[in-house]
Amino acid sequence: MSDTVISASMRANLLSLQRTTSQMDKTQINLSTGKKVNSAVDDPVSFFTAKSLTNRASDLNKLLDAMGQSMSSLKQASTGLESVTKLVEQATAIAGQARDALAAGTQEAKVAGTVNLKGIEDLTSRSGVSATSRLTFTVNDKDGNVVLNAQNIDIAANDSTDQLVGKINDLNQGLADPVIEAKVNDAGKLEIKALDGASFALKFTGDTATPSTAEDLALAQALGFGDTAQKVADGTLTAGVQNYAVQVTASATASLNSLALYSGVNTLAQASDTLSSLFNEPTATTRLVSGTVDAGDQFVVGFNGGSQKSYSISGLSIQGLVDKINSDFTGKLAASFDGSTGKINIRSTDAVVKTVEFGVHDETTTDGLAARFGFGVASAVTATAATADATSIESIQLGSAAADLATYEADYNKIRDQIDSLVKDAGYRGTNLLNGDTLTTVFNEDRSTSIATKGQVVTSAGLGLDKANFGNAVGVDASLEQVRTAVNSLRSFASSVANDLNVIQTREDYTKETVNTLQEGADKLTVADPNEEGATMMALQTRQQLAVSALSLASQAQQSVLSLLR
């Protein structure tokens, strides 16, 4: 079969139609995709430039998600910090209340009688009071120094209640500041208190001529102190019978410090030293425990006049005594030893503790056992016995602030526990800035720009909040200083977190704008203009129609030539 011969004009029209159809196909693709560059074939430079821009925009979009998560972590930390700060401020308030209670309590180690003595003109008219009755006061200041040592007040015939009060208050004469105060309160009861944190012991002697325990107790009861007075051995033997001093001892706060203990001349005791080897003076002349120490001799500790615990003196170290008290009186009493001062401290940790008892038990009749700890007042506790198994107890009545201080201490320690619980729950997606973790936030696609938010441990331990010891002013002041420091630390950390959060928010906004710019730039290179593409399509359709018409004319001309040959 031979090739078909097409005229030059027809071939030109066919080629024009082919080009027009190809252009129309491309324009239709542009209109359907919305892009004028759909592949590298269309425009290699524009295609790959736009691809680079869109890839970067995609990478930044992924970073935006990470930035959002970082912001959530920081917001979680910020919320946690606000809550921890509130708890610490609550602890500050509790410590402040303890300080106020302590300030009020240190004004008075107070005891009040239960008998109405108002208006009595002659106290010796009362049963138990005679012209040979005596009150003996020993007062220690808040630092434990003796300011009144066994000062006697004798009750004379025809002494009225007001005269007795005047004699007690006259004990302050010659002192730089008053340390003791007596009055008859509105209920007519005799009220005695030590001032400015002082502690005192009040000893009752019913008959100075022929002292006896029964008469001592009768005097205490006549003046209204029968319920609070305690029998304390005084080591005096009369006709082979052990006599006891009937005594009221009061401490201003919940904390009782012993006298300084020494292991030698000017050498403070250490926790490992045995109690029987220690001294009460830096000159090492007055022993803590005097007399012969037998295996059956014991220290006795208790509270509220209830059942007491006994600990063998033989071989017992300071730390051993402290550990035994802490083990046997958990939640009620706490003992500690301060090596810097050489003092044993026993304090109340429960509001129910009103009195603390400390003493010694002498197993035999001839040991002459005595122990001079000086809890409450610096007086010897002696257990010289005329009969076997004599026990000598010194009972210290705690001041009015002691119960409140124990309650405040428990509340403060609960706040510490809540701070630790809150910090534990403050994490977000495995990162806990409040427990010292570090959060890194990346800002660009090659990770060359970032910010690291360093966490801080804001648990009670991390903030330096020790367990409260509100037994004395030193412990309360230490807690107040710790909570003040903790609040400042939290505020500083909160400011750092807020600053980093602001930086990330700013970079997030910047990154969003950058993504928009990149996408806009890519669109300029590849996105088709619908108006332009529509006009192009109309022009191509017209061109196609014209090409078809021209091809038809060329075909008719060829047919005319062939008709002449027939």
List of domains in the chain? 60-103+406-520 (1.20.1330.10), 256-364 (no CATH)
How far apart, in whole angstroms, are the C-alpha atoms of residue 250 and residue 335?
19
> Dihedrals φ, ψ of 212, to 5°?
-150, 155
Which residues make Cβ contacts (< 8 Å) with residue 226, sequence separation at least 6?
114, 217, 220
Does the pLDDT of residue 361 top 60, yes or no? Answer: yes
Q: Are 412 and 91 in contact (CB under 8 A)?
A: yes
The pLDDT, as a whole number, for residue 239 is: 44
Query: Residue 188 has what pLDDT?
Result: 93
Q: Residues 476-484: what's their mean pLDDT?
A: 92
Closest residue by Cα to residue 165 from 208, 117, 205, 222:
117
User: Has residue 35 got a pLDDT over 80?
Assistant: no
Please state the rounded mean pLDDT for residues 321-345. 91
Residue 517 pLDDT more than 70? yes
Query: For all residues of the chain together, what is the average pLDDT?
Result: 81
* For residues 462-488, average pLDDT: 88
What are the structure tokens assigned to 241, written together?
A: 């019978």
What is the rounded average pLDDT of the residues 48-61? 76
3 falls in which pLDDT band (50, 70, 90)? Answer: low
Beta-bridge mates of residue 249? 201, 396
Say how far apart CA 511 and CA 521 lie, in whole Å. 15
> How many helices and strands, by DSSP H and E, does the chain display?
8, 22
Who contacts 125 (Cβ-Cβ below 8 Å, separation ≥6)?
A: none
Encode pLDDT of 425-439 as tens digits. Answer: 999 988 999 999 999
In this structure, the number of other CB atoms found within 10 A of the CB of residue 358 comes to: 26
Residue 106 has pLDDT above 60, yes or no: no
Task: Write down the pLDDT at residue 242.
Answer: 45
Q: What mean pLDDT do residues 125-138 have?
A: 92
- pLDDT tens-place string over residues 171-184: 999 888 898 999 99
Q: List C-alpha distances in Å: 91 to 97, 103, 350, 413.
A: 10, 18, 18, 9
CA distance 458 to 479: 16
Residue bearing the bigger pLDDT, 390 or 71: 71
The whole-number average pLDDT for the span 292-316 is 86
Residue range 453-481: mean pLDDT, rounded: 88
Confidence bin at 399 (pLDDT 50/70/90): low
- Confidence label for 487 from pLDDT (cuts 50, 70 and 90): very high
